[in-house]
Amino acid sequence: MSINTLSLANYGPVIPVIVIQRLEDAVPLAQALVAGGVRVLEVTLRTPVALQAMEAMARAVPEAIVGAGTLRSVADVKAARDAGCQFGVSPGYTDAIGAACHELDLPLLPGVSTASEVMQANAAGYNFLKLFPAVAVGGINLLKALGGPFPDVAFCPTGGITLETAPQFLKLANVKVCGGSWLTPQDAIDSGDWARITRLAAEAAAIPRG
């Protein structure tokens, strides 16, 4: 299934940024998030089991829309596609990654942190972008400033956002969804506290937008 990345925002206000350390945690974690009303899942390519985790989630939890985060190379793009991911997310943007995603029909949410990077991604046809690391590079003030010269660009700010600050970002006209790691705290995953993760997902899914 091919997904336009902007349509990911239709499924809820927050996309969890997930780090999987143990393969056996992948499916119950995905099930817990979906049970809380969060269907779009970004699994980062930061651990040795990440690709296997994505494949397991996509196979065992069909309600989940599984994407690969931390795409840094063409090889990452190919591996994510082979694992059954439905979209990709990169911390920055290169034309090589953009071209590979186009070629393999993997919808991409590319990362940017400056106006020049926004222009580079725009030139390649991308108008829905991940602002990363959002809080560190200026957060709400930067997003407001970018809204002037780029009224046709929408953002998914990620990095440093919390349950408490997400509503402030989501009030901005150019923010469609936020990325957040607070939905999947490592201690909850390590202890198998899936009920806690379902509660965190439900809280995130209920954040008002606009």
> Which are the catalytic amino acids?
42, 130
Q: Can you list the alpha helix ranges (DSSP code H) found in the chain?
A: 26-35, 50-60, 74-82, 95-104, 115-123, 134-137, 139-147, 166-170, 186-191, 194-205
Question: 157 preceded by cis ω (within 30°)?
Answer: no
CB 87 within 8 Å of CB 8: yes
What values do phi and psi take at 88, rounded to 5? -130, 155
CB 66 within 8 Å of CB 32: no
If residue 1 lies in a helix (H) or strand (E), which one and from where to where?
Answer: none
